[in-house]
Amino acid sequence: MRSWRMLLALAAAVAQVGHPLETRGEDVRRWRDLNEGRIREIAAMLSAAPRGLGPPIADREVWATVATNRGLAGIVREAERVMAMPMPPWDDELYLDYSRTGRRRPGEQMIAARHRRLAPLVWAEAVEARGRFVEAIAATLREYVREPTWTLPAHDASLRSFRGDAYNVDLAAATTAFEVGQALWMLGERLDPVVRSEVTAAIERRVFEPFRTTLRTGRGLTWVHA
Q: To the nearest whole percent, how much of the chain has pLDDT over 70?
A: 82
Range name among 15-19, 103-107, 137-141, 212-216 with the lowest pLDDT average: 15-19
The secondary structure of residue 2, as a DSSP letter, is H
Rounded to the nearest integer, the mean pLDDT of the chain is 84
pLDDT score for 32: 57
- Please check the confidence at residue 215 and state whether its pLDDT lies above 90: no
**pLDDT: is 112 or 27 the higher one?**
112
Q: To the nearest whole percent, how much of the chain has pLDDT over 90?
A: 62
Kindly report, residue by residue over 135-159, the tens digit of the pLDDT.
Answer: 999 999 999 999 999 999 999 989 9
Q: Which amino acid does the sequence have at 6?
A: M
Q: What distance in Å separates the CA atoms of residue 23 and residue 26, rounded to the nearest whole number?
A: 9
**pLDDT: is 63 or 42 the higher one?**
63
pLDDT score for 192: 96
pLDDT score for 22: 43
Measured at the CA of 7, the angle between CA 206 and CA 59, to 5 degrees, comes to 85
Do the Cβ atoms of 130 and 136 come closer than 8 Å? no
Kindly report, residue by residue over 11-20, the tens digit of the pLDDT.
Answer: 444 444 333 4
pLDDT score for 187: 96
pTM of the model: 0.80
